[in-house]
């Protein structure tokens, strides 16, 4: 997945969080002063905010802390976590199967828990002269990206955009040329919401067979910005940075605009693979991708913090719990401005309860 590149380690710059009132934080700032994490680059900007906020909270308590997070990629983050090289991992997908079994040794009999702390909406961003309000659905999107729909004035698109003058121009899909969690989530959405039209599968590499490739989220966004009649899938923040227009998604009950309210609704209505905690909170992603509510934006990317349920030494456990408590609460303030979807109360409470249950 693409990332907005920042420093590779936790930052001491807490100016953005100088207004934090430590009296309203449940973070104890106890345990070892320096935590380490590695993994998902998609959550790096959110992690920088979490760290800055946590530093500010603890400074007001008279304590000096830091969290060094290295955005080395989800797979590497999970590997480092299992090998006890970092205290927690960030990952675009839940730790599972053999790797989850290996984590039991690292967690000294405990289990690895997946806590979905950072959500990012994926935009369908386009460049179409004279059109600034476009509606698509999963079926038309699948057909655009697998080559079944090739013209902007195709009847299927026109049916979703009554009264809009669609040009008789050839569509240029722009896709990721590199392996990407964004691509994987986009294709999983199409698999779930348009299974009859998207039959080429999912995965980190694009499988649709059509389109021009560009590297990274910045690359596809810039390609659309400079390419008339083009469309791509990209994290909201990159669409905004490049002043791209974002399509609304029709889930079957009317067009849904991408905004903080509709992304929050999608997160709020997400289901879990298990019982929803306290404990592991691995998401059933089909409950997001397949959401048909007119109030929920379904094209979302979830990234996890992977932690031990037990097995940390006392100082590490206290620090992990303190930091993640802060991140799930006051750390969420202002995330929407960075293109993330802040946690709604229901998800925040589940994550906070799971963090508290770490032994």
pLDDT at 14 over 70: no
- Residue 180 pLDDT: 87
For the segment 230-259, what is each residue's pLDDT rounded down to a tens digit?
Answer: 999 999 989 999 999 999 999 999 999 999
- Residue 249 pLDDT: 98
Position 42 confidence tier, pLDDT thresholds 50, 70, 90: confident
Position 1 confidence tier, pLDDT thresholds 50, 70, 90: very low
Average pLDDT over residues 296-319: 97
d(CA 160, CA 162): 6
pLDDT at 211 over 60: yes
Instruction: Show the domains of the chain with their CATH numbers.
Output: 15-120+264-356 (3.40.190.10), 122-261 (3.40.190.10)
* Residues placed in the known binding site for phosphate: 40-42, 74, 92, 180-182
Average pLDDT over residues 12-25: 59
For the segment 168-210, what is each residue's pLDDT rounded down to a tens digit?
Answer: 999 999 999 998 889 999 999 999 999 999 999 999 899 999 9
Position 22 confidence tier, pLDDT thresholds 50, 70, 90: low
How many angstroms separate the Cα of 334 from the Cα of each of 121, 228, 241, 316, 342?
15, 33, 17, 28, 8
pTM: 0.89
For the segment 107-156, what is each residue's pLDDT rounded down to a tens digit?
Answer: 998 999 999 999 999 999 999 999 999 999 999 999 999 999 999 999 99
- Residue 8 pLDDT: 31
* Residues placed in the known binding site: 40-42, 74, 92, 180-182
d(CA 346, CA 7): 32
- Residue 255 pLDDT: 97
Mean residue pLDDT across the chain: 93
For the segment 69-84, what is each residue's pLDDT rounded down to a tens digit?
Answer: 999 989 999 999 999 9
- Residue 9 pLDDT: 33
pLDDT at 16 over 70: no
């Amino acid at each position: 997945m693409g990332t907005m590149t920042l420093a590779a380690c936790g930052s001491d710059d807490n100016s953005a969080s100088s207004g934090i009132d430590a009296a309203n934080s449940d973070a104890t700032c106890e345990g070892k002063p320096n935590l380490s994490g590695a993994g998902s680059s998609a959550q790096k900007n959110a992690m920088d905010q979490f760290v800055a906020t946590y530093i500010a909270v603890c400074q007001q308590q008279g304590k000096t802390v830091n969290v060094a997070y290295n955005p080395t990629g989800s797979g590497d983050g999970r590997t480092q976590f299992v090998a006890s090289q970092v205290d927690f991992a960030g990952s675009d997908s839940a730790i599972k199967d053999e790797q989850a079994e290996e984590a039991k040794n690292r967690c000294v009999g405990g289990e690895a828990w997946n806590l979905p702390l950072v959500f990012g909406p994926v935009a369908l961003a386009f460049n179409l002269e004279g059109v600034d309000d476009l509606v698509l659905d999963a079926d038309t999107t699948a057909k655009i990206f697998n080559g079944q729909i090739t013209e902007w004035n195709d009847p299927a698109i026109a049916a979703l955009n009554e009264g809009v003058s669609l040009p008789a121009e050839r569509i240029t899909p722009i896709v990721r040329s590199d392996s990407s969690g964004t691509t994987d989530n986009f294709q999983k959405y199409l698999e779930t919401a348009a299974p009859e039209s998207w039959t080429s599968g999912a995965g980190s590499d694009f499988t649709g067979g059509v389109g021009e490739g560009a590297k990274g989220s910045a690359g596809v966004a810039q390609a659309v910005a400079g390419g008339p009649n083009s469309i791509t899938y990209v994290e909201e923040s990159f669409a905004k940075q490049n002043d791209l227009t974002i399509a609304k998604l029709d889930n079957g009950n009317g067009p849904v605009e991408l905004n903080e309210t509709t992304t929050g609704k999608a997160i709020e209505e997400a289901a879990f693979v298990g019982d929803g905690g306290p404990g592991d909170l691995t998401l059933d992603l089909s409950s997001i991708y397949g959401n048909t509510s007119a109030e929920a934006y379904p094209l979302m990317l979830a990234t996890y913090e992977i932690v031990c349920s037990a097995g940390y030494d006392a100082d590490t456990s206290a620090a992990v719990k303190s930091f993640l408590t802060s991140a799930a609460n006051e750390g969420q303030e202002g995330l929407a401005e960075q293109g993330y979807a802040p946690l709604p109360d229901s998800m925040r409470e589940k994550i906070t309860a799971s963090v508290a249950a770490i032994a």
